[in-house]
Homo-oligomer: A and B are copies of this chain.
Amino acid sequence: MSNSDPLVIFTPSGKRGHVAPGTTVLQAARQLGVDLDSVCGGRGICSKCQVQPSFGEHAKHGIHADPGALSDVNTVEERYDRVRGLKPGRRLGCQACIQGDVVLDVPPESQVHKQVVRKAATTRVIEMDPATRAVYVEVEEADMHAPTGDWERLKTALFEQWQVDPVTLPQTLPIPMLIAMQAALIKGGYKITVALNTARTGVIKLVGVWPGFTEPSLYGLAVDLGSTTIAAHLTDLTTGEVKASGGVMNPQIRFGEDLMSRVSYAMMNDTGAADMTAAVREAMNTLAQELAREAGIEVTDIFEAVFVMNPVMHHLLLGLDPTPLGQSPFALATNSAMDLSAAELGLSFAPAAQVYILPLIAGHVGADAAAVALSEAPQKRDPLTLIVDVGTNAEIILGNKTRVLACSSPTGPAFEGAQISSGQRAAPGAIERLEIDPTTKEPRFKVIGCDLWSDDPEFTTQTAVTGVSGICGSGIIEAVAEMRMTGIVDANGLIGSAEATGTARARPEGRTHSYLIHDGSEDGGPVISVTQGDIRAIQLAKSALYAGARLLMDEFGSDKVERVVLAGAFGAHISPKHAMVLGMIPDCPLEHVTSAGNAAGTGAQIALLNVASRREVEALVHEITKIETAIEPRFQEHFVAANAIPHATDPFTGLRAVVSLPEPSFNSGSSGGTGRRRRR
C-alpha cells in the first residue's frame, strides 16, 4: 500500500499500516497480522470482530482521525444492532470500511488469542489458541451436473472460507459424523456451524456440526489424574474461563494405596488391570458430570480433555498392561503424546470429543512431570532451577536454557503423613504448622480448619469440632525441622533425653525418646508426639529426595542450584525454610525457593488452551535427559550422606547464615547410623 492510503493503527497491539481505501476493518486486521476474531467469516452474523474506533487527534500516533474515517453504518450493522445490540461506538469489523486514518481498539472479547491469567501460586499467562474451535460455513448445494458428495463440498467450503485443509472425520465415528453432517446441511439449508479439532499431527477433525449459524458451547477438561486424587478444571474453550474445578478420590485406592501395590494387584489378578481401568474411567465420568452440573452445561458440551498422570496411571487409564512398570527395565508400552477419542477411553463427553495425553518422560517419570516442566519451563530460564513434585514418588527436574534433566525418586509416603505414628492425611484437625520456642522448647501449632495458633486463648473453642487429630505431611516436616533447630534432635536424627534437651516433653520410649506435641487424652483425644521412628521415616524420605536432586546436579555438573520450585498440592504447603533445614532440598537462598502449586494441573490447562504448547512439551520431553536412580551407584552414596539433618557433608552454608542450627550429639551408640534404603 502506498503512503497516501489511509493509515490504520490497531490498539492495544500497536500494529499499524496503510490499507487501500474501502478495505474492511477485518481485512485490514488480517493484512496487518492483527488478532481479530471472526466465526461467521465476515458475514455480519457473529459480531466477534467488533472494534472501537477512536476519532480525533492522536498525538501519540501522530494522526488525526476524522469521523468519516470509517464508512457509515450499513444495513447489516443496523440489523445486528437492532436485533442483538452493539455497545455504543462499537462497529462490526467485517462491515465497517476504512476511508481515512483511524485508530481502532480491539477489545479483549474480539481477540482470538486473548490471554488468560491462571490463578496459581505463580501467576501464569496462557495465550488462547485451543485445539478445538467453531466456524460457520456456507456449503454449495448439491448439483446434479457436477456431482460431488456433501462431505466433499463441505471440505471445499472449509478450505475456501477458512483455509482449513484437509479436514478428516473423527477416527472412531466417521459414519455417525457423516450422518450428522447430512442432517445439519439439510436442516440448515447448506449453512452450518462446525467444530474442528486440530490434532498434534496437524490433522484437523470434524468433531461437531450444527445447522445454521450458532455459537456452540465448547468446553474442555484439564485433568491431573493422580494415584490418590483425580483433579480437573472445566474450562470454556472460547473464553478460557474456568467454569468449575473439583476432584474425586481415585477409586483405584481400593485395589492398592500406592502405585506398586496396584501393579502387584494387576500382576496377581487376571482382571486386576481391567478392573482398575474400569474404576478410574467411571470416576472420570462421575467427576465430569459433577463439574458439568456445577457449570450448568451438559457433559456432551465437553469436546476435549487433556490428561496428565504418572506412567502407572497412564497405562491403567488407557487399559495397557501396567505390570512391566513394576520391574526393571520399567518398559512403557508407549511414551509418546497421544491423540485419542474420548469414546476409546470410555469417556462420555461429546460423541466425537478428543483426548490429548501428554508424553511420558520415562518409566518412572510421567506425563505429570512433563506437565510440570511445561508449566515451569526451566528450559526457558537462565538460572539453574530444581523442580521437585513431592508425592509418594518425587519427580525431580533440574535444568536451565542449556539442558534439562529428570528423574524420579522413591520417597515413600512419609511426606504424606503415612508411616508416621501420629500421621494422617491433610484434613481438618491435622497439625499443618508447628513452631518450637528455642528457649522453653515448648511447641505451638496450627491445625487445618483454624487460623489460630494453639497458644491462642480461642484455639480450643474454635477447634472444638475437629479437635487436634494428628499431624499431616507439612506438619511433620515442620516438627522435625523445628526439633533440629531447637536442639531436641541432633544432626544424626536422634531425639535427646529430657536431661540432654532440657524439656520434659522429651520422653523415653523403649531405648529411644519421643517429643510430645499435644496431649489430648483428657478430652478423649489422641496423644500426639514425634517418635524416633517418625524421624527415621522422614530421614528415609528426605534422603531419597535429596539424593535424586543431587544425582541430577552431578550429571549437570553443578554443586548448587539457583532456584528451587516446590510443585504439587503438598509442595504448596511446605515451608521452604523447614524443608531446607531438613535437607529435603539443596542449599539455596530461601527467597529463591517458591511453590508452584499444582504445576502438573497448570500444565494440563496450558495444553488444553494452547495447541502450540503441545508441540512444546513434546519437544521438551524429547530433549530431557532421563536419569534412572534405581541403577545409578552414586544414588546409594548420596542417599547415605543425605541421612543426616540437614546433611553429613554438604555444609548448607547459605541456610546456616539465616538459621541457627545447634549441634548436640545424642548418639548412645546403638540407635544411630543410617537408615536402610527402602524402595516403594
Instruction: For the complex, give the distance between the alpha carbons of A588 and B334 in Å.
Output: 64
Q: Are A335 and B183 in contact (CB under 8 A)?
A: no
Cβ contact of A144, chosen from B174, B178, B328, cutoff 8 A: B328
Cβ contact of A329, chosen from B144, B176, B363, cutoff 8 A: B144
Taking the nearest CB of chain B, how far is it from the CB of A623, in angstroms? 13
Smallest CB gap from A185: residue in B: B331
A81 within 8 A of B: no
A150 within 8 A of B: yes
Instruction: For the complex, give the distance between the alpha carbons of A478 and B145 in Å.
Output: 36
Cβ contact of A333, chosen from B181, B324, B330, cutoff 8 A: B181
Smallest CB gap from A362: residue in B: B147
Residues of B within 8 A of A336 (CB): 149, 151-152
Smallest CB gap from A360: residue in B: B149
Instruction: For the complex, give the distance between the alpha carbons of A556 and B30 in Å.
Output: 46
Residues of B within 8 A of A626 (CB): 145-147
A427 within 8 A of B: no
A340 within 8 A of B: yes
Taking the nearest CB of chain B, how far is it from the CB of A346, in angstroms? 10
Residues of B within 8 A of A330 (CB): 142, 144, 147
Q: Are B175 and A318 in contact (CB under 8 A)?
A: yes
Instruction: For the complex, give the distance between the alpha carbons of A144 and B330 in Å.
Output: 7
Instruction: For the complex, give the distance between the alpha carbons of A181 and B345 in Å.
Output: 18
Contacts A171-B172, A183-B321 hold; do A148 and B178 have CB atoms under 8 A apart?
no
Q: Are B143 and A329 in contact (CB under 8 A)?
A: yes
Task: Select the residue from A147, A186, A361, A363 with max chain B CB neighbours within 10 A.
Answer: A147
A658 within 8 A of B: no
Q: Are A319 and B175 in contact (CB under 8 A)?
A: yes
Q: Are B144 and A332 in contact (CB under 8 A)?
A: no
Contacts A144-B630, A333-B181, A362-B147 hold; do A320 and B152 have CB atoms under 8 A apart?
no
A562 within 8 A of B: no
Interface membership of chain A positions 147-178, coded 1 if the CB is closer than 8 angstroms to chain B and 0 otherwise? 11111100000000000000000011111101
Copies of this chain, complex-wide, total 2
What interface size band does chain A fall in? 35 or more
Residues of B within 8 A of A143 (CB): 329
Smallest CB gap from A154: residue in B: B334
Q: Are B333 and A147 in contact (CB under 8 A)?
A: no
Taking the nearest CB of chain B, how far is it from the CB of A277, in angstroms? 10
Cβ contact of A179, chosen from B141, B320, B338, cutoff 8 A: B320
Residues of B within 8 A of A181 (CB): 333
Smallest CB gap from A172: residue in B: B172
Q: Are A321 and B179 in contact (CB under 8 A)?
A: yes
Q: Are A334 and B152 in contact (CB under 8 A)?
A: yes
Interface of chain A residues 39 through 64 with chain B (CB within 8 A): none
Cβ contact of A171, chosen from B171, B178, B318, B630, cutoff 8 A: B171
Q: Are A334 and B628 in contact (CB under 8 A)?
A: no
Q: Are B144 and A333 in contact (CB under 8 A)?
A: no
28 A-B pairs in the complex with CB atoms less than 8 angstroms apart: A141-B329, A142-B330, A142-B331, A143-B329, A144-B328, A144-B329, A144-B330, A144-B628, A144-B630, A145-B628, A145-B631, A147-B628, A149-B332, A149-B333, A149-B334, A149-B335, A150-B332, A150-B333, A150-B334, A174-B340, A175-B320, A178-B320, A178-B333, A178-B334, A179-B319, A179-B333, A182-B320, A182-B333
Nearest 6 interchain pairs by C-beta: A142-B331, A147-B362, A149-B334, A149-B335, A151-B334, A171-B171
Give me 18 other A-B pairs in contact (C-beta within 8 A), A151-B333, A181-B333, A182-B321 excluded: A142-B330, A144-B330, A147-B330, A147-B362, A148-B332, A149-B331, A149-B360, A150-B332, A152-B336, A174-B340, A175-B345, A176-B319, A178-B318, A179-B319, A179-B320, A179-B333, A182-B320, A182-B324
